[in-house]
Amino acid sequence: MTASEDRQRDLIATLDFHVAAGVDLMLDEEPHDRFAEVDAPPRPAARVAEPAPEPIAPPRRELPPRGEAPSPARTFGQSAAARPEAAAGDARARAKDVTSLEDLEKLLAGFDGCPLKFTAKNLVFADGNPASKLMFIGEAPGADEDRVGKPFMGRSGKLLDRMMAAIGLDRTSAYIANVVPWRPPGNRNPTPQEVTICKPFIERQIELADPDIIVCVGGLSTQAITGTKDGILKTRGRFYPYRVGDREIRVLATLHPAYLLRQPLQKRLAWRDFRTLRAALDGKAQGG
Ligand code: URA
């Protein structure tokens, strides 16, 4: 093998390593330490990965050639990452004025304050029936959802559909959204900063959909919506109050289907949660 073939083999091995580690798109020629840009930055944990390997997604937008100024949208997105409270304030001010789910979706499509928008292919706003009194809220889209533009389309989504079907529900009888509507690259968890920026939108989405019951799917969603710091194994199966003006919506926490795909024995706990949900929908006291 020549030296150049040797080098080529090493480069391919390095790329394979990055893809296996979840680095599936390139944003710039030099690495950036985004976590050094904010105070007390927590590192994002790897999201409970779906077992199936994901296709490699190309970047949605072309990067500017080296040395050329980045577009204003990219600049705003990056500075917003460093000032999530300011971006969240902007998001809240804009979301407040919107009076329909359609307009909220349009608003989100034009919102440049969350850097995830610039790596995602599509906005993943919602699926299901917005008139339903039941709303499921997941964490953030994965590769399948990013490709299709709808939540819970991959293996997790198929399992969620089966869990819903087990208590007589389907996508015509529930409305489905995520806390963060853009896919975090490499299927990582959204950072706390990204959640802070996107939260005003999901809060407005809840207000406009006006459900009686919300099911938070997974720990991140439960923490973002209820404000609890407890982990999902503690919060699952319990109802939390969520106030919208003088109205109280009941929030039930349950395990994420991606976790259940990796820990199938835990499906018995999720089954209990779904029976609790069925009882609540039927107006009965919660079963165990
Ligand atoms: N996981 C989520 O939390 N949401 C989706 O839409 C897909 C996977």
C-alpha distances in Å from residue 200, one per residue of 86, 143, 205: 12, 24, 9
Q: pLDDT band for position 77 (50/70/90)?
A: very low
Residue 23 tokens read as 């680095």
Q: Report which ligand 1 atom has the smallest distance to the Cα of 178.
A: 4
Q: Report which ligand 1 atom has the smallest distance to the Cα of 139.
A: 3
- Residue 231 CA neighbour count, 13 Å, CB half: 1
pTM of the model: 0.77
| 254 φ/ψ angles, rounded to the nearest 5 degrees | -145, 170
Given a cut of 50, whether residue 56 has pLDDT beyond it is: no
**Pocket of ligand 1, candidates 139, 150, 176, 202: which has the most ligand atoms within 8 Å of its Cβ, to mutate?**
139
Residue from 112, 138, 118 nearest 57 by CA? 118
What pLDDT, on a 0 to 100 scale, did the predictor assign at position 76?
45
Query: For residue range 35-51, what is the model confidence (pLDDT) as tens digits?
Result: 555 445 455 566 654 44
As a whole number of angstroms, the distance between CA 288 and CA 269 comes to: 10
Query: For residue range 119-136, what is the model confidence (pLDDT) as tens digits?
Result: 999 999 999 999 999 999
For residue 139, how far is its CA from the centre of ligand 1 (angstroms)? 6
**Pocket of ligand 1, candidates 136, 178, 194, 256: which has the most ligand atoms within 8 Å of its Cβ, to mutate?**
178
Residue 247 tokens read as 């109205």
As a whole number of angstroms, the distance between CA 216 and CA 220 comes to: 9
Of the candidate ranges 2-6, 112-116, 149-153, 277-281, the one whose mean pLDDT is the lowest: 2-6
Q: Are 168 and 246 in contact (CB under 8 A)?
A: no
For residue 34, how far is its CA from the centre of ligand 1 (angstroms)? 24
For residue 283, how far is its CA from the centre of ligand 1 (angstroms)? 28
Q: Report which ligand 1 atom has the smallest distance to the Cα of 156.
A: 8
Domains of the chain and any CATH numbers: 82-287 (3.40.470.10)
For residue 224, how far is its CA from the centre of ligand 1 (angstroms)? 14
Residue 98 tokens read as 């919107």
Identify the helix (H) or strand (E) that includes residue 239. strand 239-244
For residue 69, how far is its CA from the centre of ligand 1 (angstroms)? 34
For residue 149, how far is its CA from the centre of ligand 1 (angstroms)? 11
Given a cut of 90, whether residue 63 has pLDDT beyond it is: no
Instruction: Give the type of residue at 85.
Output: E
81-119 burial, b for 16+ CB within 10 Å, e for fewer?
A: bebbeebbebbeebbeebeebeebbebbeebbbbbbbbb
As a whole number of angstroms, the distance between CA 37 and CA 256 comes to: 31
Given a cut of 60, whether residue 208 has pLDDT beyond it is: yes
Of the candidate ranges 21-35, 110-124, 197-211, 217-231, the one whose mean pLDDT is the lowest: 21-35
User: What is the edge-to-edge ordering of all strands in the sheet holding 239-244?
Assistant: 127-128, 175-178, 134-138, 213-217, 247-254, 239-244
For residue 52, how far is its CA from the centre of ligand 1 (angstroms)? 14
**Pocket of ligand 1, candidates 150, 156, 161: which has the most ligand atoms within 8 Å of its Cβ, to mutate?**
156
Q: Are 179 and 202 in contact (CB under 8 A)?
A: yes
Instruction: Give the type of residue at 215.
Output: V
> What residues are in contact with ligand 1 under a 6 Å CB criterion?
138-142, 145, 151-152, 156, 178, 217-218, 258
What is the average pLDDT value for the chain, to the nearest integer? 85
Q: pLDDT band for position 72 (50/70/90)?
A: very low
Average pLDDT over residues 63-84: 50
